[in-house]
Amino acid sequence: MSDKVLQVNDLRIRFRNGKETSQPIRGVNFHVKKGETLGIVGESGCGKSVTSLSVMGLLPIKTSEIVSGEILFNNRDISRLKEKEYRKLRGNEISMIFQEPMTSLNPVFTIGEQLSEPLRQHKKMSKSEIRNNIIAVLKQVGLPRAEQIIDEYPHQLSGGMRQRVMISLALLCHPKLMIADEPTTALDVTIQAQILELLKEIKVKNEMSLMLITHDLSVVAEMCDRVVVMYAGEVVEEAEVNELFDRPLHPYTQGLMKSLPSNNERKSKLFSIDGQVPKPSEIGEGCVFANRCPFAFEKCFAETPPAFNRGKHISKCWLQDPAVKEVMQNEERSIVNS
């Protein structure tokens, strides 16, 4: 337990919007070890962003509520912290960078003004110290002419540069854990590679653990040590990255893998999983992926599969149930793309 920076146990979150309520997160479990990069992958709407926001305590107070479960940060449950307490963590011990660099910086304040906030809130520093600190971090993230940029406005910087500024904002107080919510999705490919490279470097230099949220499996392959696959508010599979790519156990993960355009031979038609992600209000009992799973059988519809583990490789699918496994063997069917 001790080497785990972050431990999320059976987290359930409910959203209230007017009369109807929905549960985007229905029992999520995962952890991040010190110095590790954990990847959280899944289609949009599977609840990965909500999870990351809940860790940062940025969920809207009025309309959201952590029903049950706990979020342990350095073994301290922070899920029900009061705002004042939570604020001490944000930007200091846990920090976050977001997907849209273009809108994540305040247009009417200079870069310097915005970057001074975490230091002003968490560290006792004089103005000049703050300024030097910011310039140092800006340089660290590879921004040229940091001295000018500090007094410039966001609209004067390119998308890539702004994301670097966001990263430096998150690094200023040397957090133990950095959450990156789709950091490169909005950037074009060339810049994407640079930012990912930068994140890797920084993680190592600052002995930081990184929680990387993405829907792009190639990013996962490149960056992550361990991967958690989420679908419709649940963790359906968790495994060490190579293990996951070599032997995906859960049909959803298999589907994801197959839809990855392998770069060596051109396939006539990309495989895609038919149907869509059910809305939170439409999820009944049984496996949440049942209605889209090619192998689903009535048990899948009847009962929610528990988490079966093979060593460290966990997945929630009845196919992993030893009982079901034997029956499977004698029919030995492999997945043929229809």
Partner 1 sequence: MTVNIPKVTHTTQAIKVKKQSAVVTFFSNLLRSWTGMVGFLIMILLLFISIFGQWIVPYDPLLADFSKKLLPPMTDGHLLGTDQLGRDIFSRIILGARVSVIIGLTTVLIAGTFGTIVGIISGYFRGWVDVILMRIVDVQLSFPFILLVLVINAIIGSGLRNIIISLAIGGWVIFARVIRSEVLALREKEFITACVATGVSRTGILFKHILPNLFTPIIILSSLQIGTYIIAEASVSFLGFGVQPPEPAWGNMLNEGKDYIFSSWWLITFPGIAIMITALGVNLFGDWLRDTLDPELKGE
Partner 2 sequence: MLDFVIKRLIQVGVVVLLALTVVFFLIRLSGDPTALFLPPDAPREQIEEYREKLGFNRPIYVQYGDFMVNAVQGDFGQSLRSREDALPLVLDRLPATFQLAISALVLSLLISIPLGVLSAFRRNSIFDRIAVAFTVLGQAVPSFWLGLLLIYFFAAQLNMLPSGGAGSITHLLLPMVTLAAYSVARFTRFTRSTMLDVLRKDYIRTAKASGVPTIRLIGRYALKNSLIPIITLVALDLGTLLGGAVITEVVFAWPGIGRLLMQSLMNRDFPIVLAGVFIIALIYAVINFIADVLYAYVNPQIRVK
Please pick, from the candidates 193, 276, 302, 309, the single residue that binds partner 1 as defined by CB under 8 A: 276
Dihedral sign computed on CA atoms, order 338, 296, 21, 48: negative
Whether 28 and 46 have beta carbons less than 8 Å apart is answered as no
Q: Helix or strand or coil: residue 213?
A: strand
- Locate 252 and state its tokens: 């959803």
Q: Rounded to the nearest 5°, which phi and psi values hold at 132?
A: -65, -40
# of chain residues touching partner 1 (CB under 8 A) = 20
Q: Which does 156 bind (CB under 5 to 8 A by kind): partner 1, partner 2, none?
A: partner 2
Instruction: State the residue for tokens 């590679």.
Output: 193
Largest CA distance in the chain: 73
- State how far the Cα of 288 lies from the Cα of 304, in Å rounded to an integer: 8
Dihedral sign computed on CA atoms, order 294, 297, 301, 303: negative
Burial class (CB in 10 A: 0-12, 13-18, 19+), 72: middle
Closer of 112 and 291 to partner 2 (Cβ): 112
Instruction: State the residue for tokens 């406005």.
Output: 153
**336 is an interface residue for partner 1 by CB under 8 A:** no
Closest CB 119 distance from partner 2, rounded Å: 9
Please pick, from the candidates 296, 305, 314, 317, the single residue that binds partner 1 as defined by CB under 8 A: 296
- Locate 222 and state its tokens: 């490149």
- State how far the Cα of 69 lies from the Cα of 76, in Å rounded to an integer: 13
Identify residues 119-178 at the interface with partner 2 (CB under 8 A).
121-122, 152-153, 155-156, 166, 169, 172
Whether 237 and 247 have beta carbons less than 8 Å apart is answered as no
At position 262, the amino acid (one-letter code) is S
**44 is an interface residue for partner 2 by CB under 8 A:** no
**291 is an interface residue for partner 1 by CB under 8 A:** yes
Closer of 53 and 228 to partner 2 (Cβ): 53
**290 is an interface residue for partner 1 by CB under 8 A:** yes
**202 is an interface residue for partner 2 by CB under 8 A:** no
**306 is an interface residue for partner 1 by CB under 8 A:** no
Closer of 176 and 313 to partner 2 (Cβ): 176
**275 is an interface residue for partner 1 by CB under 8 A:** yes
**258 is an interface residue for partner 1 by CB under 8 A:** no
Categorise residue 261: left if φ over 0, alpha if ψ from -120 to 50, beta otherwise.
beta
Count helices and strands in the chain by DSSP H and E runs: 13, 12
Please pick, from the candidates 323, 329, 330, 337, the single residue that binds partner 1 as defined by CB under 8 A: 323
**327 is an interface residue for partner 1 by CB under 8 A:** yes
Q: Which does 98 bind (CB under 5 to 8 A by kind): partner 1, partner 2, none?
A: partner 2
At position 319, the amino acid (one-letter code) is L
Closer of 119 and 196 to partner 2 (Cβ): 119
Instruction: State the residue for tokens 């300024």.
Output: 131
Q: Which does 297 bind (CB under 5 to 8 A by kind): partner 2, partner 1, none?
A: partner 1
**298 is an interface residue for partner 1 by CB under 8 A:** yes
**136 is an interface residue for partner 1 by CB under 8 A:** no
Q: Which residues bind partner 1 (CB under 8 A)?
A: 18, 274-276, 278, 282, 290-292, 294-299, 323-324, 327-328, 331
* Residue ranges in contact with partner 2 by CB under 8 A: 56, 58, 62, 83, 87-92, 95-96, 98, 100, 103-109, 114, 117-118, 121-122, 152-153, 155-156, 166, 169, 172
